[in-house]
């Protein structure tokens, strides 16, 4: 039986392929941009500087994780003083987040060149941090107009970062398969995204991994996320845990929590992983990639688990399995200890 559904395709133009970073000038022109500001973090500074110099564009390299509002204010001042008319975000979720923050405030066009698998470039979501609190909003102005996926740009990711960033992408697909507003097209993309990443990450195949990341990012931008993303938001925002590593550790445990309430999604995830069970399969994939599997190794204080459980149940949101504090506290303990979920 086909459940009734709503499907809305994202307006972002996607260009995929090795060497396609060369299409950035034509892409900017297509958007009518004459003087876009190239945005990077410090690590991608040299790359951004070269791209900007080649085209006579300005460059700013101050992007930071979790999009702090004071960083955005500084970048916005540079944007204005340089007479910029758009942004070219080159980097992971942090550089892309800053580009989105500028676009939200100026309604300028954005072209993204992702260098990780996080998926932010395919969404109209922006998380911003002010006074230690991270808040998330959705707005059409936040959705990037053009994305150029060039596998050469992710080739420099250190193996551990590639592994955790890839698990971060898989998390979008997992939650997309049981999303309250899910639909058959997005489910196809989610399953294919997991298939691609599960094969590509152990093999170091950046092209296939980036293809999977695009699919998973599209899922994130199209349907609502649930418990897993909520937990990671709480752990990242309140305990300052690293983004992709936290996703990697929590994903198998959140999947185990929801398993009995989302049997069809679990079947599809397990099938995509070629594993007996979705949750254990995700744990094994992380382990095989030598990625972290416990919150303890990420520096989470054990006495913070109670607070995290309280925060996770504070504001209700749709999730396949009802949110029960005691069960969530156990989930967090399992994540802290790095326990392999039962098959
Ligand atoms: P990131 O952008 O902070 O990058 C992590 C580190 O890896 C940085 O030091 C960066 O310089 C380095 N790096 C990036 N690409 C590299 C490459 N190709 N080679 C070598 N080093 C590289 O991390 P991320 O995980 O991509 O993004 C995390 C941020 O994005 C968080 O703030 C998160 O909230 C946000 N995010 C937002 C959305 C959304 O839809 N709004 C989606 C996913 C992530």
User: What number is the average pLDDT over the span 242-264?
Assistant: 97
Instruction: Name the pLDDT band for 113 (thresholds 50, 70, 90).
Output: very high
132, pLDDT greater than 80: no
What is the bridge-based pairing of β-strands 125-130 and 133-138? antiparallel
Q: Work out which ligand 1 atom sits closest to the CA atom of 114.
A: 15
pLDDT tens digits, one per residue of 206-220: 999 999 999 999 999
pLDDT at 41: 98
Say if ligand 1 is within 6 A of residue 208 CB.
Answer: no
Fold type of domain 159-337 = Dehydroquinate synthase-like, alpha domain (1.20.1090)
Say if ligand 1 is within 6 A of residue 127 CB.
Answer: yes
pLDDT tens digits, one per residue of 156-173: 999 999 999 999 999 999
Say if ligand 1 is within 6 A of residue 167 CB.
Answer: no
Say if ligand 1 is within 6 A of residue 129 CB.
Answer: no
pLDDT at 135: 87
User: What number is the average pLDDT over the span 278-291?
Assistant: 98
Fold type of domain 13-154 = Rossmann fold (3.40.50)
Query: Percent of the chain having pLDDT more than 90?
Result: 93
Instruction: Report the nearest-CA residue for atom 35 of ligand 1.
Output: 93
Say if ligand 1 is within 6 A of residue 125 CB.
Answer: yes
Mutate to test the pocket of ligand 1, among 91, 135, 137 (most ligand atoms within 8 A of CB): 91
Q: Work out which ligand 1 atom sits closest to the CA atom of 136.
A: 41
Instruction: Name the pLDDT band for 134 (thresholds 50, 70, 90).
Output: confident
Which residue blocks in the chain are alpha helix, DSSP H? 24-30, 45-55, 69-81, 93-106, 151-154, 159-177, 184-203, 206-222, 227-239, 243-258, 263-273, 278-288, 305-314, 325-337
Q: How far is the CA of 322 from the centre of ligand 1 (A)?
A: 31
Say if ligand 1 is within 6 A of residue 118 CB.
Answer: yes
310, pLDDT greater than 80: yes
The structural domains of the chain, with segments of one domain joined by +, span 13-154, 159-337
pLDDT tens digits, one per residue of 48-86: 999 999 999 999 999 998 899 999 999 999 999 999 999
Residue 163 in contact with residue 290, Cβ under 8 Å? yes
Predicted TM-score (pTM) of the model is 0.97
Q: Pick from 255, 97, 262: which is nearest to 172 by CA?
A: 255
Say if ligand 1 is within 6 A of residue 120 CB.
Answer: yes
Say if ligand 1 is within 6 A of residue 114 CB.
Answer: no
């Amino acid at each position: 039986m086909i459940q009734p559904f709503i499907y809305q395709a994202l307006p972002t133009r996607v260009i995929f392929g090795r060497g396609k970073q060369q299409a950035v000038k034509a892409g900017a022109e297509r958007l009518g941009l004459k003087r876009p500001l190239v945005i990077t973090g410090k690590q991608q500074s040299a790359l951004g500087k070269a791209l900007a110099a080649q085209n006579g564009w300005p460059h700013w390299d101050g992007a930071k994780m979790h999009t702090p509002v004071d960083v955005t204010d500084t970048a916005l001042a540079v944007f204005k003083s340089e007479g910029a008319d758009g942004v070219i975000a080159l980097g992971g979720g942090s550089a892309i987040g800053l580009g989105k923050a500028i676009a939200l405030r100026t309604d300028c066009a954005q072209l993204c060149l992702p260098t990780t698998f996080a998926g932010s470039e395919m969404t109209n979501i922006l998380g911003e941090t002010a006074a230690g609190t991270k808040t998330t909003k959705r707005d059409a102005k936040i959705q990037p107009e053009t994305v150029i996926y060039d596998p050469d740009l992710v080739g420099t990711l250190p193996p551990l970062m590639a592994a955790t960033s890839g698990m971060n992408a898989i998390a979008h697909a997992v939650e997309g398969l049981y999303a309250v507003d899910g639909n058959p097209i997005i489910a196809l993309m989610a399953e294919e995204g997991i298939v691609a990443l599960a094969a590509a990450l152990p093999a170091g195949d950046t092209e296939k991994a980036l293809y999977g990341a695009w699919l998973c990012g599209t899922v994130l931008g199209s349907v609502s996320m649930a418990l897993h993303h909520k937990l990671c938001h709480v752990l990242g925002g309140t305990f300052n845990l690293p983004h992709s590593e936290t996703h990697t550790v929590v994903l198998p445990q959140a999947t185990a929590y929801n398993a009995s309430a989302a049997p069809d999604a679990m079947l599809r995830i397990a099938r995509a992983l070629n594993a007996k069970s979705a949750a254990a399969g995700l744990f094994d994939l992380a382990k095989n990639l030598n990625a972290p599997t416990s919150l303890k190794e990420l520096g989470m204080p054990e006495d913070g688990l109670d607070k995290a459980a309280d925060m996770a149940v504070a504001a209700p949101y749709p999730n396949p399995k009802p949110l029960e504090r005691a069960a969530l506290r156990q989930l967090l303990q399992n994540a802290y200890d790095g326990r392999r979920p039962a098959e």
